[in-house]
Each structure stands twice: as structure tokens, then as C-alpha cells.
Structure 1
Amino acid sequence: LVVLLVLLSRLKHDVVQMTANFVDLMVIDRDTAAFLFTIFPNLRWSVIAAALVILPLMYTLWWLDPFRIPRLPALAGKLACLAALVAYSLTFPDEAWRGYYDDGYLSKFARSGVIAVSDFVRDGFMESAPATNEHLKVPLVDACYPAGRRPNIIMIHDESSFDIRAAGGIKVPRNYGSHFLSFDGKARQFMAESNGGPSWFTEYNVLAGLSSRSFGRFAYFVTRIASGRVERGLPLALRRCGYDTLSLYPAFGGFMSARAFQTTTGVAHFYDAHDLGARDVEPDSFFYDRALDLMSQEQPSKPLFAFVYLAANHFPWETKFRPELLPAWRAPGNASAIDEYLRRQDLSAEQYQAFMAGLKKKFPNQPFLIVRYGDHQPEFAPHILDPGLDEAGVGKKLENYDPRYYATYYAIDAINFEPVKSDAVMDRIDAAYLPLVILEAAGIPLDPSFEEQKAIMLRCGGVFYACRGGAEARRFNRLLIDAGLIHGL
């Protein structure tokens, strides 16, 4: 069992850069198994072969074992071991940030069991306030009557992108920074809930309009847990207003249950890497071209919401990604990984402008609202923001949600459309408010849940989970649960 744990933990770290913990046993779904068997075709045969060898061997060892312990002493020994494990876990609590280190497989797994089970017994998978007398009205399908023409809405997930000038001493190319500006020339901050890798935290934020931090120790599994349970979000709100909804995803749909989660939040047409014909990591232009093709197949009389999920700026940055796409680019003179990061940002900005030109050419008379956001900072960002800190110091700042480690950007652009002015379009927002910002900027009437969330946003100045120590988010979760929009959590 120890050898099996080590092997599975190393496999998980190779795939998602995090070692196994006890929650993996609490959240088992078919999507994850299907995803692993897809990306590792030989894994299926390895599992079958291992089962054919290990199960008979375990039975044989049990049958031939000459040492038998009576049940009562065995139970006493079990309880003593459990008590020791609980005491050890409470004395030396497992620090969440250490899960990203490829070591300590057994210790981290054992300690996470104590914390995860206690958290689950106390709060379930998701924090929510006790019963309340307040109620939300369930939104009706035919109760949305926008004033004026509804724009097509495109939301762009800009992988690992933030304004690197937040760190001192970084040399940037000329004209760096224009990509982070909105149509009105403003630079706006987007406060993500992850740093360095887990894009699905932000995916949950911008589709469900809720906080992954409400899941506490289970946040890493947020999209898997929310699938089939959190039936509230931006795509659903837009579908009630007559929109068709589609999503372009750069990995296999089983990864972190992306297909099931996005479908739950209202995405009607989900296209993953296999559906799109993607080979390995593709440049942004690949997904923009596919988006243009898919949008041209839609009914021109029906407005469209498209979620375009980019991946070209994903780590590692030690190797040059598609050098032929930007042959004239010159490195400013930073560390090689940072210069490669900047090159990919320049490539992303150039291909975004080409996408905007393609929209104008293919759909000359249609209105568009385009909203981009950086899903999280790159994994090296803490080390350039605070170069004097060691790993433990960085881990503490991440655990305490230092805003410098979570700030990226969001930008609003438009074609043949004037974004609606709203007090919700703030200069700095928590990630969970982005759906609300999009609905307001598009002039779409808010359903009761987004009306309530807007009141929270204005009351808390753009802060969501951290407002009043989490009380506002817990109360809002309870309202959604009582309205039947969240269930089973």
C-alpha cells in the first residue's frame, strides 16, 4: 500500500503538479479515470496487470500468514495509531502549499486525512451559513427582457498572464502593457484565487460566479465537486436571456471534470482538445480561428456567448514555444524563463489583435463585448515579487492570500457596441464578480441571484470571499442552497 501510494502520488504530481492527499479518496469520479486513461494509454494495461498480480498475492499472504492478532487487541492498536496520527496532525498541521512539492508522500497523505475528515464533518464540502429567513427567487427562463440589442459575448481565459511590471527590476519590451488596457484606456485588476498553476479555480470563479475558497481544504477539487451540484452561473444566466453558449477548452474534457462542470453551469456546446483537433499545446491563434469558425455556424439572429480558454502561456518557460511565430522578437535581457514568458505575452497580444480583426471582417454588423482576464500569476511570480523570501516564506504569503501574489488583470473591449456604464465595473474586483461585470457591461438584466451578489459587491467594494471574514460568501451560499441552485454540498 505504501508503494502504491508513492507511485500514485508521483503520477498525480506529473499530471497536475500536486501530490496525492486523502481528499483523492473522498472525491472519486469517472471523468478523472477516463482522463488518465486517455493521456496515458498504457495505464489501463498497467492497472489490469497490477490487479492480476497484487490481488492474488494479497490474498495468499493473508491466507498463509501464521501470525494472528485477536480482534480486541487489533482494535486497540488501531485506535492508538489513530490517536497518535490525530495528535501528530494537530501538532504539525499539514500546510496546503506543501502539496505542490514532490516529496513527503506518506506524511502529507496521512495528515491530510485528519484535516479533511474533520473539515468535512464540520462544514461538508462547502462553507455556508446556518439556516436564514432570507430567500432568493428562482430565476424564470422567460423573465429576461434586455433593453436594446444584445451583444455577442466572448470571454477569454488568458493563461498565466499578469503585468510583470508589478515586480521591480524586470526589463520589458517597448509598448509592453497595452494588452492589459480596456477600451476606455483603463487598467483594471482581477484578484484570482490561485497562483502558479490551478486554472480551474478561476474557471469556477468566472463561470459559477462564486468563490473556490468556500471549499476550504477541498478547493483543489472544486470543479469536480461542483459538477452536477452548482447549477448557477454566467452561461445559465445568458441562456435564460436567449443566448446560445459554447466553450473551447485546450485539454481533454475529463481533466478536473471540466466538461461536466461547464455543462452544469450552462455551457450547451463544449469542445475539448480532441473535438478541436488540437495537438499538444497550441498557440492562441489556433483557438481564435476555431472560435471564428464555430461562431460563423451559429444562427445570426441568436446572440452567442463563447468561452475561449487559451493555454500557450502555460509553463514551462525554459523552452521556446513555437519560435517561428515571432521571429523578430528580441529578449530584453532578463533570466531566460522570464524573457520567454514576455515573448509569449507579446505573441498572445499580437494574436488577440488578429482575432479582433477577424471578428470585424467576418461579422461586420454584429455587436461584440469581449472580456479578457489573467487566470493567475505564473509560478515564478512570487520569487520575483519577493526575491529575498525562501520557499516557506512564499508559502506563508500564498496561504495568507497576499494580494500581490493574486493580482492579474481584466480588460473589456467592444466591437459595434458601447459597453453599458455600471458601478459594478470596478477598477479592482475579486474573480467571482467577473460574470456580474459582464452582465452589467452587456446590459443584460440580472436574475435575483446576481442582483443579490451585486448588492454584496457594492457593499464590500469588489471583495467577495474575504468580506466580513467570509460571512457574506457563506450567507450567499446558503441563499443559493435554499433556492435549489446548489445541492448535495
Structure 2
Amino acid sequence: MTDLAADPRLPGKRHLRQSAMRGFALVAFVAMLAGVPLAEKLPIEKAFALAIVGSLTLVLLFATARLAFSLLVASLLFGALATASMLKLEFLMTPALAPDLKYYFNWQTIEVIYRYPVLIGFSGLVVILIPLLLIPAWRWDSVPERLRLRHWPALILRGCGLLAALALLTASLIPAGPFAPAFNKPMWATITDRSYVTAFMTSFSDTEAHVPPTPAHVDRSIKWTINQRAPVTPRQQPDVVAILEESTFDPHMLDACTVPQCDLDMFKSGRYTRAGSPLIVHTFGGGTWTSEFALETGLADVLFGNAGLYAPYSLAPRVEYSLPRAFKAAGYRVIAVYSHSGEFLNARNAYANYGFDQFYDGTDHGLGWESTDADLFEVFEQIYADETRAHPQQPLFIFTLTLHQHGPHMTPLEQLPAPFDKPLFRGKFKPPELDDWLNLNLGNYLQRAALSSRMLESMRDLLWNSGRPTVLMHFGDHQPSFDGAMHAIPKTVPRAAGQNDSRVTYYRLLTSFPMKPMKTWDALDITYLGSMLLDAAGVPKDAFYQANSLLRDRCKGRYLTCKDRNLLGSYHDYIFNTLKDVRDEE
């Protein structure tokens, strides 16, 4: 470090400039450490971020032998990362992630920045600060003579130091390395807990989606096409409305849920119900966009490795077959009514890639994170009226999703309306007794579920009274986490759902017109919902949905837990290698 101290042999003004620059750089570096790596949420994340910042700073220091320059580059780099993450979280609802380098360097990003003065100001500040600080830091911070590379001792010292710093940086970034617990966090935690360095650096391994490999002994003799015979439906093609219910499951699966508040009409079968059962999903506590992906494409994000979590970015542009395209081929107009910002996790672009004709952004209609199901219904009602007026003879496929059931479920019970204003599960069974925390979360959940049930009744009345035959399906995208406490509640789910009872929600399919009950099973995988809708609407299936329907029937509603592994391997070989449903990355 003495070699990097300000050289007193330099001329007076130059020595003063060098001392001032190094002092400024040190203050900036300390401030960055306090505000970025030490502000991460968990201790392991703080240690991980410090290791990344420290090793990268050492790389710069040994490579340049310029103290001020190295400290300022690290300060600007990680300061900009944290600031960009905060701004992106504010405007686009996700922090800066490594896939952004791949998916956000385009003209659409520039258009987004142009719409927000704050983003323009930040971008301009970054462009100005970088040369304003780094150019004088480089010029004024001269390399001490003893550390210049023309001297063998300096070359050996800096070379060995650089290799050691690079080794430390590399080891820190290995998912199975010393900071393994910082990797593979649940996606929802990654984008909400404000550990900006950890979120960004650990997401580098999640940028490439890999198609499942072909089994070694695949059976290509299995037939995956069908002679289609549509069920009896009205002469007029029915409208089809699919509603994703955020964080929603049938509370009757909870052993403790025997109180009247658990008996909600949305989970019951009635005279309009044609199909319904527990639903097997592929996420828990968050990741709604993966359930959207499963509905729209008939694919499970978990097939594609960690990058599947980024399906709206990594997979949506590559999928050849989709539910919207199947409806469009039958003459439908396909629209999405989003409950929040279309910028969230690339939703607007993803829905265009899925094949939707129209995407209604929730923020353009006053919807957001605090909107209730009744708010969504009000917007849906207006859009539905406009669409049926503008397209009176064209059938509609409409997808929408609620948001109010999203966590946290922590409104104090006394602030909820009766009968949810007191603990509902006090001492319901032992062990374990449902404690105050679970009573709080379940009380909130059931109160919001009651609002959802009323909204669905209003939705059904609206659609049934329209004079247009309609298929209506609603389903839960995943269970809420209750900060992990959901795992502690004993549940009873069908054996067909497999070992993981946290991946079970529900679905119901109704029609306004007479129709025989559809074939159902003890549980249905979410990837089959699309083919169920096509069956109910009497819409011809393309090659993918023919295969999807056959697998649904042959595996009795299961997918990844299908007992016939030979059948599942043949199906994957057919859709990925014969149909080439997922195109290679460009």
C-alpha cells in the first residue's frame, strides 16, 4: 500500500491533485460499501456482495496500479447497479437482473426511459459522471515507479495479485461455491428483497433456457395425432374467458378449514360446471408469470432449467404453438386484460409473442397492486362491452388475472370486516395449533377469497346475460407462502397430485350452454388447461394441442408425475424435436 500512497516527490500541484482524488475516491468507496453490499438483506448476501465488490476492486487495482481509479470504478459500477435496480423496481417492478443485459438493450427500453424524466435524468447523470470522474482519476493518479510493469518484481507482484483476485471473483460466482446459499433463491424473493448485488450477480446463470434433452431410448412409434371430433356446442362459436386467480387455492384442502368462511361458491360445482378438480402447478408463493406461461403455451417452465423462471423473456419469443394462436386460427379475436403494468417482467412483449391481438395495460385503466377484484371487474366490464360492440360477430378469447390476493396477508384482523375480524382457527386442532401468525394470514386470505367469489359470480352473470354463448374458466396460479408458514399447515390433497402438497390449487370450467360433463381426474396439471378450453369451445386443435390432449388422457391428468416415463419421453421428443415447439435462440 505504501507504493500506492500519494508520491511526495511529485510536483506540488500534481501531488495535491493526486491526494485529493484518492481521498475523494476512498470516501466514495466507503459510502458505496455502506449503501450497497452492506445493505443486502441476509448475512450471506452481505458477505457475497462484499466478496464480489472486493475481488473486482482488487482486479482493477492489480491491473492498473491506480488506487483512485480502481476505487472510483468500483464505486460507480456498484452504485449505478443499485440505483438502476431501485429505479427499475419503482417503474418496472423488478430490480436489475443479468437477463436485462440480453433482453433490455433495445429501442423499447429507450422508449420507456424517454417517458420518464427521472430515468432521463439518471441516464444523463451516468453519462456525465463516468468521464467527469474517471478521466481525471486516471490522469492524476500516476503509477508509482516501483509498480510499473517494466520492472520484473512489479510484473510478478501485479500478475500474481491479478490472478488471485480473478480466482476469488470466479469462486464467488460459482453457484455451488462458497456462497451457494445466496444462489437459487425463489424468484419472488429475488425480485422483492432489494438485495441488488446478489440478485444481479446470481442471475447470470439464468439467461439461457435449455430444451430438455432427448431420452436415450425414445419410443417414436407412439402416435400423437388424433381424428378430431368436437363436443356438441352451439352453432355460434362461444366466447372463452379464462381468469387466473392470484395466490388462490381451495381452502378445504387445509385440515383445519372446517369453519363456514371456508365454504365459498367459487370452489363448488354447480349446474353450469363442466369440469373441475385440484390443479397441479409448478410454482409456490410467487412466480405468477410462470403459470401464465403454462396456460398460454401448454409448457412447464421447470422443463427449461433456471432460465424457465424468466419465461416472459427467455421462452415467450421462441414458442411456436400457443393457446391464443389456436383460437386465432379458429377465427377468434384474442385479448388480454392485465391487472397491472405491462412492463412488469416483460408482460406486454410476452403477450405479443404468445399471439394476442390486443393487450390492455392495467395501469392505463387505473389498476395496480392495491386494486381489488371488484376494480378489475369494473375495467373488464367496460372492455368487454367495447369489444363485443366492435366485434359483434367474432368470438372472443379473453384472458385476465386478479391481483388482490397477492401477499402479504397481514392486515390486522380488527381492520377486516366481520366475520373475519377475529381469529377463525383458534385451537382448531393439536398439534400443531394454528398460531396468531397463521390466523392472521388465513383470515386475510379468506376475506379476499370471499371478494373473489363475489366477483366471479358477477362475472358469470355479466357473461351469461350477454346473449353470447360463453365458456368461463377460473383457476389458482399458486398457493400463497404466508412467509413460509403455509408449509406448516397440514393439508389433504389427492394422491394424483404427488408428494408436494404446496403445488396444488384448483380450477373450475363452466359453460352458459348445455354440455355434457367433461372427462376429469383426481387432479389436473396446469399445462392441460388450454386443451380443456379448446375442447369445451369445440375449437379444432393444432398439432401441439392434439398431442397435449392425448398426453392428458393417457397420463390421467398428470404431467411431470406421469407414471409412464416412456410415454412422457416420447411426448417431449415429439413436441420439441418433431414439432420444434421451442425455436433455437437467435
- Counterpart of 1:48? 124
| 2:482 matches 1:406 | no
Listed as ranges, the matches of 1:157-196 within 5 Å are: 157-170=244-257, 172-174=259-261, 176-183=263-270, 188-196=277-285
User: 1:292-441 maps to which residues of 2 (within 5 A)?
Assistant: 292-319=384-411, 330-331=420-421, 333-334=423-424, 335-361=439-465, 363-364=466-467, 366-380=468-482, 382-386=484-488, 403-418=500-515, 421-423=517-519, 425-441=520-536
Structure 1 segments unaligned to the other structure (5+ residues)? 389-400
Would you say the 8 A contact 1:211–1:432 is kept in 2?
A: yes
Alpha-carbon distance in 2 for matches of 1:469, 1:152? 36
- Offset, 1:373: 0.5
Distance 1:23 1:443, change over 3 A: same
Identify the residue that residue 472 of structure 1 maps to in structure 2.
568
- For 2:18, the equivalent position in structure 1 comes to none
| d(CA) in 2 for partners of 1:244, 1:440 | 18
DSSP 3-state at the match of 1:247: strand
1:102-144 superposed Cα distances (whole Å, 9 cap, x missing partner):
376545654554x447xx4xxx5443538989699999xxx99
User: How far does residue 333 in structure 1 lie from its aligned partner after superposition?
Assistant: 1.9
Choose the corresponding residue for 2:550, options 444, 448, 455.
Answer: 455
* Structure 2 residue 339 is the aligned partner of structure 1 residue 220: no
Task: Output one character per residue of 1:405-443: Cα deviation in whole Å (capped at 9) or x when no partner.
Answer: 12111001111242x5544x4341121111011112222
Of the candidates 184, 198, 203, which is equivalent to residue 96 of structure 1?
184
Aligned-residue offset at 1:202? 0.6
Maintained 8 Å contact 2:282/2:291: yes
Contact kept? 1:230, 1:485, Cα under 8 Å: yes
TM-aligned CA distance change 1:448 to 1:63, over 3 Å: same
Aligned-residue offset at 1:455: 2.3
Cα separation, 2, equivalents of 1:263 and 1:86: 34
**How many corresponding residue pairs?**
461
* Bigger Cα Rg: 2
Relative to structure 1, the CA distance from residue 41 to residue 290 in structure 2 (aligned partners, 3 Å threshold; closer, same or farther) is: farther
Q: Distance in 1 between matches of 2:368 and 2:384?
A: 19
Who is 2:331 aligned against? 242
Letter in 1 for 2:480: P
Q: Deviations over 1:26-76 (max 9, x none)?
A: 443559847975997623322322332234323332343423775992874
Please give the TM-score of this superposition, normalised by the length of structure 1. 0.79
User: How many angstroms apart in 2 are the aligned matches of 1:302 and 1:220?
Assistant: 35
Distance in 2 between the 1:474 and 1:4 partners? 48
Cα distance change, pair 18–478 in 1 and its aligned pair in 2 (3 A) = farther
Tell me the distance in 1 between the aligned counterparts of 2:108 and 2:408: 23
CA contact 2:319–2:582 (8 Å) conserved in 1 = yes
Quote the Cα distance in structure 1 between the aligned partners of 2:560 and 2:302: 7
The residue type paired with residue 414 of structure 1 is T
Output one character per residue of 1:290-315: Cα deviation in whole Å (capped at 9) or x when no partner: 34323432433322111122222223
Gap change, CA 1:315 and 1:477, over 3 Å in 2: farther
Once the two structures are TM-superposed, the CA of residue 234 in structure 1 deviates from its matched residue by: 0.9
The 3-state SS of whatever aligns with 2:392 is coil
Aligned partners of 2:246 and 2:404 also within 8 Å: yes
2-structure distance, mates of 1:34, 1:421: 51
Structure 2, gaps ≥5 residues long: 1-76, 150-154, 425-438, 491-497
Answer yes or no: is the 8 Å Cα contact 2:220–2:570 preserved in 1: no
The amino acid of 1:127's aligned partner reads P
CA distance in 1, matches of 2:116, 2:409: 24
- Does 1:127 pair with 2:215? no
CA distance in 2, matches of 1:478, 1:20: 37
The one-letter code matched in structure 2 to 1:60 is P
Which residue of the partner structure matches residue 207 of structure 1?
296
Change (3 A) 1:223 1:103: closer
Q: Distance in 1 between matches of 2:332 and 2:282?
A: 28
- Determine the C-alpha separation between the residues in 2 that align with 1:408 and 1:474: 28
1:57 corresponds to: 133
266, 278, 290: which is aligned to 2:382?
A: 290
Cα deviation for residue 197 of structure 1 reads 2.4
The CA deviation at 1:153 is 0.8
Q: Over the residues paired in the alignment, what is the CA RMSD in angstroms?
A: 4.1
- Partners of 2:279 and 2:526 within 8 A in 1: yes
Q: Equivalent residue for 1:393? A: none
Deviation of the 1:20 alpha carbon: 5.3
TM-score scaled by structure 2? 0.67
Give the distance between the partners of 2:399 and 2:91, measured in 1 at CA.
24
Partner Cα separation in structure 2 for residue 232 and residue 348 of structure 1:
31
Looking at structure 2, the residues matched to 337 and 4 of structure 1 have their Cα atoms a distance apart, in angstroms, of: 37
Q: Which residue does the alignment assign to 1:483?
A: 579
One-letter code aligned to 2:486 = I
After alignment, is 127-136 or 460-469 more displaced?
127-136
Deviation per CA, 1:299-335: give whole Å up to 9, x if none.
Answer: 33322111122222223333489x9xx9665435243
